Amino acid sequence: MARPREFDADTALDGAIGVFREHGFEGASAEMLVNAMGIGRQSLYDTFGDKWQLYRSAVRRYGLGESAAHLEALRTGVRAIDGIDAMLRRVVKTANQPCLGVGSLCEFGVSRPDLAKVHAALAKTLRDAIAARVRDAQHDGDVASDLDPVAASEFLVGSIASIRIAGRGGAKRVALNSLADMALKALR
């Protein structure tokens, strides 16, 4: 009879996320992963499958958490533009930390269809929410009425990635805030 699992799979997955955020897929060794996850190799394979399946699960879990945080920020403030600003400032605040979403896109692009599907689902949810807030901000008179909300959403997602890359590259907070300010100015 198989022994029951003696660890929390979500906690273990969070450990893997930390390794993948810092080292990417190729740079993460099995030893690094099991040490960070607090489990043995066999438990890793029995629970998560191979390293690729673990990575895909980590990207999905990380992306869901980031999307939830972005959506929460978008809902803050009295006006829709306040929520957009809050989302950008949240990114600025954490830009010095490695982002598994941006990292996985840089490492794999769309070369792995199963991973691209994870990214596409997460991106659609975020882009739709941002586009809705842009429409609300247009209604409030805070965003130019002639902007296409979908294109503005794409621009803001690109700005988020740019801020994260700049932050990871050592840009100071003042420079990161300037990037966020420029993104907001582009909407007016």
Domain extents in the chain: 59-186
User: Rounded distance, CA 160 to CA 69, Å?
Assistant: 13
The tokens of 65 are what?
């958490």
pLDDT, mean of residues 95-109: 95
User: Rounded distance, CA 49 to CA 174, Å?
Assistant: 43
Is 1 a residue whose pLDDT tops 50? Answer: no
How far apart, in Å, are the Cα atoms of 78 and each of 7, 75, 139, 144? 43, 9, 13, 18
Alpha helices in the chain (DSSP H): 9-27, 30-37, 41-48, 51-74, 80-94, 100-108, 113-140, 149-168, 173-186
Average pLDDT of the chain?
94
Residue 30 has a CB neighbour count (10 Å cut-off) of 13
**pLDDT tens for each residue of 156-167:** 999 999 999 999
User: Rounded distance, CA 75 to CA 81, Å?
Assistant: 10
The CATH number fitting domain 59-186, selected from 3.50.50.60, 1.10.10.10, 1.10.357.10, 3.30.413.10:
1.10.357.10
pLDDT, mean of residues 63-75: 96
Is 4 a residue whose pLDDT tops 60? Answer: no
